[in-house]
Amino acid sequence: MKCIFTTAVAIFFLWGCANDMDVTEQEVQNNNSNTNRAIPQSGGSVSTARSAGTKVMMQAFYWDVPSGGTWWNTVSGKLPSWASAGIDAVWLPPATKAQNGGYSMGYDPFDYFDFGSYNQMGSIETRFGSLAEIQSLISTAHSNDLSVIADIVVNHNSGGSSQSNPYTGGSTWTDFQPASGLFARSYNDFHPNNVHTADAGSFGGFPDLCHDKTYVQDWLYNNSNSIAKYYKNTMGFDGWRFDFVKGFEPWVVKNFKNAVGGFTVGEYWDGNAATLETWANSAEASAFDFACYYKMRDALANNDLTQLNGDMLLKRNAYRAVTFVANHDTDEIYTNKILAYAYILTHEGYPCIFYRDYEEWLDKNKLNNLIWIHNNKALGNTTYLYADNDEYVARRNGSPGIIVYINNSDSWQERWVDTNWASTTIKDFTGNSAWEPVTQADTWVKVQAPPHGYTIWSVK
């Protein structure tokens, strides 16, 4: 997430930065004025088991997508073609009303239950559209067997009114009275409070939710009308992307996921693979593989493909690794970006494609080809065969498996490699090479790759 902070007369402003359980109308006993409010009925399609995590995820937004309430419809129109290409999940931006209303990218959350139906924060719709439009998006996704991943921002809040705060001796912007009537908050629910002064980390000066408070836990995942259960059972979301998880303990993600199930990934922005692994294991969730991202960035920027042999979460625990080449916050792989996609779409982990790369900036046909190879050929564990400044070769050992050959030099390259196929005709499934060599009886074969390109070989 991205943000800038200003004091307001000062308003907080962000640029941008398993169990299935039925929702009921029962009243929830807690210590706030919104105890007995009924759950607003969305009519969204209820989520069922889908394949998120097995194919390829699409990040279905970028920073500052067009405002004006058109984005949900834009995404809806693309869902059938994405599904046909081999996408199995779409990650949406934070979908509820934030402090900056119809201009907000959603990372300054105010009312977790307003999907574009209440007149507050200066608008009825969110930046992305109305409640009816996101309902339609989710329904369309499900009819195309796509999972829908909700972006969950629970480290901080924004848009509260000023109130006297006995824990600070002054006033804080911690009086939240959302129009939905659900999850009202006060200074008791933020740091500092009577439990402790801080948790793992605050963000941008915004009021920092205290996850050790029972009241906060109840509204996040314990109550029958909690965020987790409402999003899953009423709206129909299938999984969760947690924002800025450095700001709170991993058990928060674990408890949320355990309350409703679903694919879960956290944004732990750190290039240390061991740190990512520790967080993922503690949260019992996947993590975005920033270690892989930075290795790819350095490999391509410095003309040193040996970086691709470095430590990454996908090599420590591929089951927990969500790999990516760019996202709404960071896009530092400028040169030969398609080679980075060739890497993540042929290696272990769960690849995520960035909307603008797919729809605007790169060759969609090449990306669709790589998605098909990922879903149909790139199986099994990985053996790393060769790397130098310009060349990188690896083998996936499943059935049928592949040989991927990445060449970042200015000329065609050839190399003998050891395959898993004896006396077998193979071909390049990218179409970049017309060779159809036959592997030797000892499984070795010569393959080639074009300049600043790649080939991916498998049985014909």
Q: What is the pLDDT along the chain (460 residues), one digit of tens a residue?
A: 654 333 333 333 333 333 333 322 222 223 333 333 334 444 455 545 566 889 999 999 999 999 999 999 999 999 999 999 999 999 999 999 999 999 999 999 999 999 999 999 999 999 999 999 999 999 999 999 999 999 999 999 999 999 999 999 999 999 999 999 999 999 999 999 999 999 999 998 999 999 999 999 999 999 999 999 999 999 999 999 999 999 999 999 999 999 999 999 999 999 999 999 999 999 999 999 999 999 999 999 999 999 999 999 999 999 999 999 999 999 999 999 999 999 999 999 999 999 999 999 999 999 999 999 999 999 999 999 999 999 999 999 999 999 999 999 999 999 999 999 999 999 999 999 999 999 999 999 999 999 999 999 999 9
Residue 26 within any structural domain of the chain: no
d(C-alpha 314, C-alpha 326), whole Å = 17
Residues 284 and 144 reside in one and the same domain = yes
Residues 6+ apart with CB under 8 A from 10: none
Domain-embedded: residue 390? yes
Number of domains, the chain: 2
Whether 400 is covered by a domain: the verdict is yes
- Side chain identity at residue 315, one-letter code: K
Task: Confirm whether 32 is domain-assigned.
Answer: no
Task: Please tell me whether residues 359 and 398 are part of one structural domain.
Answer: no
Helix/strand/coil for 217? helix
CATH code: domain of residue 314: 3.20.20.80
| Residues 369 and 389 placed together within one structural domain of the fold | no
One domain for residues 393 and 332: no
Strand bridging mode 453-459 / 426-428: antiparallel
Q: Are residues 268 and 386 in the same domain?
A: no
Q: Is 280 annotated among the ligand-binding residues?
A: no
Name the domain boundary from 376, 396, 430.
376
Do 206 and 174 fall into the same domain?
yes
Hey, which residues are catalytic here?
A: 243, 267
Q: Are residues 340 and 430 in the same domain?
A: no
155 annotated ligand-binding residue: yes
Range of the domain at 406: 382-459
The verdict on residue 451 lying in a domain is yes
Distance, CA of 179 to CA of 26 (rounded, Å): 20
Cβ(391)–Cβ(413) under 8 Å? yes
pTM: 0.90
- Return the number of other C-beta atoms located less than 10 Å from residue 363's C-beta: 12
- Domain-terminating residue out of 309, 343, 376: 376
Per DSSP, helices labelled H in 328-452 are 337-344, 355-356, 364-376
The first and second tokens of residue 120, run together, are 């507050």
* Spatial CB neighbours of 38, under 8 Å, sequence gap ≥ 6: 25
**End position of a domain, from candidates 376, 398, 418:** 376
The verdict on whether residue 108 carries a ligand-binding annotation is no
- Quick check: is 262 in a domain? yes
Q: Which residues contact 284 (CB under 8 A, 6 or more apart)?
A: 253, 254, 257, 258
Flag whether 51 is in a domain.
no
CA 430 vs CA 84, 342, 368: distances in Å: 18, 10, 10
